[in-house]
Structure 1
Amino acid sequence: MSKIHQPMIGYAQALQCLLAQVRSLPGEHCALVEAPGRVLAADIRSPIALPSFDHAAMDGYALCAREPLAAGSEHVVHGSQAAGEPRKADAISACEIMTGACLPDGFDAVVAIERTELLDTHPDGSPARIRLLDPLVAGYNVRHTGADAAQGSTVLTAGTRIEAAHIMLLAALGVAQVEVVRRARIAVVCTGMELQADPSQPLADGHIYNSNGPYLVAALTTAGAQVLSCETVDDTASTFAAALQRAVSAGVDLVISTGAVSMGRYDFVPDTLHRFNAQLLFHKVAIRPGKPLLCARLAEGPLILALPGTPMAVAVGFRFFVVPALRAMMGQGAEAPLRAVLDTPQQPKAGMRHFLRATLHQGAEGQLHASVSSQQQPFRMRPFAGADSWVVLTEDAGDCAAGKRVEIVSLEPCAALGIRPSP
């Protein structure tokens, strides 16, 4: 890694540079019950038709209506077909049928029981003759074979994050295991002699509890990654280098560090990476917060994202650099852009992309509105905990008056936007 001064670059250029270095992760097989939250590595084709047989959509009577049946027509009822029973042979005129039951051979329509008049019963009390109250045509109240999914059709595509709804579909198709993308392996290294990693102990004088490490572990896990280690080291290059070597030896795909990445006397990360012969991709991005962010790649090794240590710089680095990299590793495209009406005017600095914590609500007119917190200082964590989204103001946004439509991003990946009631 060259020690030559690197010029500050824009967010779009930095992200493009990062994603160009991302390597796709391999696939592995996973039991369906363990699949929620995983990402499909390959398309899934339906192994069967769904439904796999023609069946009744409701309780009633199965009839043959190839020729439409008139209201008032009378029909003799023979036998019944319950859900789960083998398909019955042809009946003579009509057959009592239950919801979900196979349509008996020779029948093509079902009349709901409440749309018939019972005229006679068998000695055991079962219906013997009915009269139709409405006309009946073929296909009525019948769920046809393959109507939901044809056999061999693609039902889910590679890159899909598996949710509960997908589990319902795959279980109905008899899919017992799926091919998913291996989880990204991540190492987190937090630097700073002031950091106290053990929250169960009283704070030493001049120390603070490490919040960046627990945040990144939680955020990465929610995003579907596997955190192999989370270390807290002091402000010396040797302890950072040792932690970095352990991460490399563990075979991680990405190392995320916090702190020691700016220009101060204790900001040793760039020089340490130089000694590791890392390729510097960029150092300093025109963003707020998080400008000193650094990205590098070790030869034959993992990507490295070195984030400033301020809490909101870490949050921005995770959401707007780490998350896109993870999505690329898992074969997912970029997140779809969303927009909202800005309720709080902003005067962003020209040439910088601003990431602002905000809350959302739906206005009386039905549009989504974003209210930016007045406390945007990067050390403040409480407004972050109370927010539900990021407002993104581009480098050329200019003065943003209330009413302007702006880009918004969910606070965390894989999370729905939290929309509050209209105030």
Structure 2
Amino acid sequence: MISYRDAIERLLAPLSILPSETCALADATGRVLADTVTSPLALPSFDHAAMDGYALKAGASSRGGSEHHVHGSRAAGDVGHIAGAGVCEIMTGARLPQGFDAVIAVERTEMLQARPDGTPHRIRLLDDIAHDRNVRRMGTDVPRGANVLAAGTCIEPAQVMLLAALGVGHVAVVRRPRVAIVCTGKELQTGPTASLRDGQIHNSNGPYLTAALGRAGADVVSCETVDDTVHPYLEALQRAVEAGVDLVISTGAVSMGRYDFVPAALRHFGAQVLFHKVPMRPGKPLLAARLHTGPLVLALPGTPMAVAVGARFFVAPVLRAMCGQGSEPTLRAVLASAQHPKPGLRHFLRATLWLDDRGQLQARPVDQQEPFRIQPFANADAWIVLDEQAGDCAAGMPVEIASLELATPLRLSTGPDFSP
């Protein structure tokens, strides 16, 4: 038996970041940056108007009540020299003409005279206008050469917007972790539409892991179901090795029963067992090993919630380490109902979340925590994590929470500040 923290340390210690590859920005959503991105240009890339109005040079002649001739008009995308003094009609996003340093909003002016085509010829300012008013200066968002995104950042739509604005068409990303899934059990029926024979059940662990790993950015190379015997399991392991996977996840046959053959099978395969059994509920019999041929193996118990816990709290840290993302930040909520966990075990409880009247995040464990129950998992919002020393937990105390998904949806800034 090994503690959860020691187990995670043993899992992650030998791992290294996977190699990088080049990816088009259009295909980069969900990928992890392999290198820090440095801005190739400034944002904005030129001084421009923040609103529709009139560009002018601020000073004594630009006070409220002053009158000005309008020399030309500039829309976004227009270039060229604007001749003459006075003011220039300008639209939002248009480059500020040379010699001008402020913009007055069109609604803060009065048109005194129009040209035959309806364009303004002479206006009066209703307000004083100061230097830099309503002007977006070059580089005020991102200076040229600034570090804008750190290695290890997961590219989401917000990052795509930034990279696209910088004209970045390709990025270096970490290769997706390649994963093979092996589900054990002669009772498992892999076709969801197939009829079940007596004693059979539909395989839910395989589809769950495939979906969860895919959403977390892994490349699921295969998902097999094998019998409760050694040789089919070893053959599936061999196929995974030949496919060049980084991680093998198996479910079932890992405890102490007569048909729990996985520990012996892994030793027969020449694997180095890192640990077997972690004091936690659910999922205590979990086993981790490393094959001499390369891949890490995580053998999870077959009960659905043991698989979900193994995926969220063991597989997810492994995937993050392989992608160079480091550990997740700890999130907390207020416990809404008292809990009395068994001493010495780390408990993972499915829970619902809500904000109370004071804006505090509340977490309530669902009523039915048995590890075979899938419906409460589908209705839950998060996991509550009670560590081995939690003891009796009163309502109102802060507790650790974690998202249901392997990839944490809430991104907190815990590393270097890359803002300009």
Q: Render the CA deviation track for 1:290-309: whole Å, top value 9, x for unaligned.
A: 00000000113100000000
- Contact 2:47 / 2:96 at 8 angstroms: preserved in 1? yes
Matched ranges for 1:127-206 at <5 A? 127-206=120-199
Whole-angstrom distance in 2 between the partners of 1:217 and 1:287: 24
Residue 51 (structure 1) aligned to one of 37, 41, 44: 44
Q: How far does residue 88 in structure 1 lie from its aligned partner after superposition?
A: 2.5
One-letter amino acid of the structure 2 residue matched with residue 354 of structure 1: H
Q: Render the CA deviation track for 1:98-127: whole Å, top value 9, x for unaligned.
A: 111111111010000110111112232211
Residue 321 (structure 2) aligned to one of 309, 322, 328: 328
Unaligned runs of at least 5 residues, structure 1 = 1-7, 418-423
Unaligned runs of at least 5 residues, structure 2 = 411-420
Q: How far does residue 90 in structure 1 lie from its aligned partner after superposition?
A: 4.3
Q: How far does residue 233 in structure 1 lie from its aligned partner after superposition?
A: 0.2
One-letter amino acid of the structure 2 residue matched with residue 79 of structure 1: G
Q: Render the CA deviation track for 1:37-70: whole Å, top value 9, x for unaligned.
A: 1111111111111111111111111101155721
Q: Render the CA deviation track for 1:279-298: whole Å, top value 9, x for unaligned.
A: 11000001100000000001
Indicate the residue corresponding to 1:361 in structure 2.
354
Residue 251 (structure 1) aligned to one of 244, 248, 254: 244
Indicate the residue corresponding to 1:272 in structure 2.
265
Whole-angstrom distance in 2 between the partners of 1:34 and 1:67: 54
SS class of match (2:32)? coil
> Are 1:83 and 2:43 counterparts?
no
RMSD, aligned CA: 1.1
SS class of match (1:358)? strand
Whole-angstrom distance in 1 between the partners of 2:322 and 2:84: 58
Residue 23 (structure 2) aligned to one of 25, 30, 33: 30
Q: How far does residue 275 in structure 1 lie from its aligned partner after superposition?
A: 1.2
Whole-angstrom distance in 2 between the partners of 1:88 and 1:286: 75
- Contact 1:46 / 1:155 at 8 angstroms: preserved in 2? yes
- Contact 1:91 / 1:104 at 8 angstroms: preserved in 2? no
- TM norm structure 1: 0.95
SS class of match (2:182)? strand
SS class of match (2:62)? coil
- Contact 2:311 / 2:406 at 8 angstroms: preserved in 1? no
Whole-angstrom distance in 2 between the partners of 1:120 and 1:33: 50
Indicate the residue corresponding to 2:5 in structure 1.
12
One-letter amino acid of the structure 2 residue matched with residue 327 of structure 1: R
One-letter amino acid of the structure 2 residue matched with residue 184 of structure 1: P
Whole-angstrom distance in 2 between the partners of 1:239 and 1:56: 69
SS class of match (1:17)? helix
Indicate the residue corresponding to 2:415 in structure 1.
none
SS class of match (2:377)? helix
Residue 334 (structure 2) aligned to one of 332, 341, 353: 341
Whole-angstrom distance in 2 between the partners of 1:199 and 1:94: 71
User: Relative to structure 1, is the Cα distance of residues 188 and 94 closer, same or farther in structure 2, using a 3 angstrom cutoff?
Assistant: same
- Contact 1:81 / 1:88 at 8 angstroms: preserved in 2? no
- Contact 1:29 / 1:179 at 8 angstroms: preserved in 2? yes
- Contact 1:39 / 1:158 at 8 angstroms: preserved in 2? yes
One-letter amino acid of the structure 1 residue matched with residue 205 of structure 2: N
User: Relative to structure 1, is the Cα distance of residues 335 and 90 closer, same or farther in structure 2, using a 3 angstrom cutoff?
Assistant: farther
One-letter amino acid of the structure 1 residue matched with residue 250 of structure 2: S
- TM norm structure 2: 0.96
SS class of match (1:100)? coil
Q: How far does residue 335 in structure 1 lie from its aligned partner after superposition?
A: 1.1
One-letter amino acid of the structure 2 residue matched with residue 35 of structure 1: A
- Contact 1:25 / 1:184 at 8 angstroms: preserved in 2? yes
Deviates more, 1:178-187 or 1:57-66: 57-66
> Are 1:103 and 2:96 counterparts?
yes
Number of aligned residues: 410
One-letter amino acid of the structure 2 residue matched with residue 47 of structure 1: P
Q: Render the CA deviation track for 1:379-415: whole Å, top value 9, x for unaligned.
A: 0000000001000001000011111111000111335
- Contact 1:292 / 1:308 at 8 angstroms: preserved in 2? yes
Indicate the residue corresponding to 2:374 in structure 1.
381
Whole-angstrom distance in 1 between the partners of 2:106 and 2:189: 71
Indicate the residue corresponding to 1:284 in structure 2.
277
Indicate the residue corresponding to 2:63 in structure 1.
70
